[in-house]
Chains A and B, each alone.
Chain A
Amino acid sequence: MSLRIARVLLAAAARRWPGDLREELHQEWSAELHVLAEQRRHARMLRYAASLAVARPVRRADPVAAPLTGAARVARLVLVAPVLAVLLLIACLIAMNLVVGLIAPEDPLGIDPQLPVLTLFALCTAVLLARLGRKWTVAAAPVPLVLAVTVPGFAFGVMAQAVVGMEKVTQHAPSYAVFFLGLGAALIFVARLAAAGRRRAAWSVGILGATLAADVAVILTVLGDNAMAEESPHPLSAPVWLFTALTDSGFGLSPMQVFLIGDVVELDALLYLVLAALALGAVIAGSAARSTALDPAASPIAPAPSGGLSR
């Protein structure tokens, strides 16, 4: 029985590797499994197979990216990716409207599900964008890579507000600047951790840094809105404003204060979420790929396509 389970695990493990390696790896592992089975070491056999089944296999560079030149890869990361992130966020808005219309057309419980549903969709989009960032990244030094994923986000954010009106730029641009500066600072540490092969730590630091930067940016946006003077929430509650802006939940704030926070912050918190995910995916994969390119024995992932960013 344990041999059968181990074989199933080995087959699953082999399927996760690049196609041209699967057969030979499966043959190699089967030979070792056979030795363990002969020795009747059932527990070790299962550990051997299970470890391979859950391990992160060696990945090859994205074959779709191969025909692109270095400049095209950089352009894809710097220009196409943030535009795609904004378009996906708009798609989330449309999907949210459809879903909310279906599940709560009359709002019978008096709970407005729009923002929670939208945030749920944005979270799924963030996961997708993190994976996209990983695929579309370029192997580069931390500073140019961080600039490549933060400056365009800031620029597109400001341009999007400028389309609505210059007063919106005045209201949101300082917060965008604070968010992307904070995110950039966190990404420098993230890049170092990823280059050292500490991917989990890199993700943890990145998520924490992005959350802190977004929290501060949302606080600045709310505090900067003069129209809220009378109804404005107490500054002591400032740390939860980001989560209020994402979930429409009060965390002790009055319904009017929750409404005002959402009204002032608009979609900024969701924009921070998707752009931070894209940036994290790109920086972690790009830094690890650069580390591998410099030292083949260094990193647990294979190199991503090298790009034209200075090293």
Chain B
Amino acid sequence: MTVPTARVLAALLANPEADRYGLDLMQATALASGTLYPILRRLVEAGWLTTRWEEVDPTAQGRPARRYYRLTPEGVAQARHALAEMRASTVVPDPSRPESAPAVRPAW
């Protein structure tokens, strides 16, 4: 998993029940739009994200409807697993700790 993808997943996992939109996620992840949207599209196609359009009347509001993203239940589980794996793979083992003790703190 790439670091930008991990950032997107972490931002979405911060509140899995919330609907997030592009600019919001750009701000949360500090990613450029050109990096963020391909990641979102891949996650949608993988079934990790679901999308819905904002329920507004574009004519009345004078602006187009926004698209919201949210993790699917499978996406939540997969994202947590992927981030935990990533975290575990980047932890440097502490030589002072006994071998019987767990080397990695559970991520979630």
User: Is B2 in contact with A55, judged by CB distance below 8 angstroms?
Assistant: no
Which one of B33, B45, B46, B82 contacts A48 once the chains associate, using CB atoms below 8 Å?
B33
Q: Are B43 and A30 neighbours in the complex by a CB distance under 8 Å?
A: no
B22 touches A57 (CB 8 A): no
Closest approach, in angstroms, between the C-beta of A247 and any C-beta of chain B?
37
A28 contacts B2, C-beta separation under 8 Å: no
Cβ of A230 within 8 Å of any chain B Cβ, yes or no, is no
A95 shortest CB reach to chain B, Å: 37
Given contacts A48-B33, A296-B48, contact A31 B66 (CB under 8 A): yes
CB pair B43–A296 under 8 Å, yes or no, is yes
> Please, how many angstroms separate the alpha-carbon atoms of A30 and B33 in the complex?
13
Complex partner residue of A34 from B46, B64, B78, CB under 8 angstroms: B64
Contact between A31 and B38, CB atoms less than 8 A apart: no
Q: Are A54 and B1 in contact (CB under 8 A)?
A: no
Q: How far is the CB of B41 from chain A (nearest CB, A)?
A: 5
B27 to chain A, nearest CB (A): 10
Instruction: Give min CB distance, B42 to chain A, whole Å.
Output: 6
- Contact residues in B for A52 (Cβ distance below 8 Å): 33-34, 37
**B2, A51: Cβ atoms closer than 8 Å:** no
Chain A neighbourhood of B1, CB < 8 A = 295, 297-298
CB contact between A32 and one of B21, B38, B41, B78 (< 8 Å): that residue = B21
- With A31-B63, A34-B63, A48-B33 as known contacts, state yes or no: A300 contacts B2, CB within 8 Å: yes
- How far is the CB of B98 from the nearest CB of chain A, in Å? 33
A299 interfacial contact with B, CB 8 Å: yes
Q: How many of A's residues come within 8 Å of B, CB to CB?
A: 35
Contact indicator A36/B23 (Cβ below 8 Å): yes
Q: Which of B17-76 contact A (CB under 8 A)?
A: 21-23, 26, 32-35, 37-39, 41-43, 45-48, 54, 63-67
**Distance in Å: Cβ of B89 to nearest Cβ of chain A:** 12
Q: In the complex, which of the residues A25, A35, A47, A295 contacts B63, with contact meaning CB atoms closer than 8 Å?
A: A35
Contact status B23-A21, CB under 8 Å: no
Contact partner of A21 among B21, B41, B43, B65, CB < 8 A? B41
Question: Contacts A35-B63, A52-B33: A298 and B5 contacting too (C-beta < 8 A)?
Answer: yes
CA distance A162 to B35 in the complex (A): 50
Q: Is the CB of A28 within 8 A of B67?
A: yes
A159 to B39, CA, bound (A): 45
* A204: min CB distance to chain B, Å: 18
Q: Tell me the nearest residue of chain A to B82, going by C-beta.
A: A297
Q: Does A69 contact B (CB under 8 A)?
A: no
A297 engages B66 (CB within 8 Å): no
A53 to B32 Cα, complex, angstroms: 11
The listed residue (B23, B67, B82) touching A295 by CB distance below 8 A is: B82
Residues of B within 8 A of A297 (CB): 1-2, 5, 9, 39, 42-43, 46, 48, 78-79, 82
**In the complex, the 3 A-B pairs of residues with the closest C-beta atoms, listed nearest first:** A55-B34, A296-B46, A51-B34
Q: What are 14 of the A-B contact pairs (CB < 8 Å)?
A: A28-B66, A32-B21, A34-B63, A52-B33, A52-B34, A52-B37, A55-B32, A55-B38, A56-B34, A196-B2, A297-B48, A297-B78, A300-B2, A302-B45
Extra A-B contacts (11), CB below 8 Å, given A32-B22, A55-B34, A297-B39: A25-B37, A35-B23, A35-B66, A38-B63, A51-B32, A296-B43, A297-B5, A297-B46, A298-B1, A300-B39, A302-B45
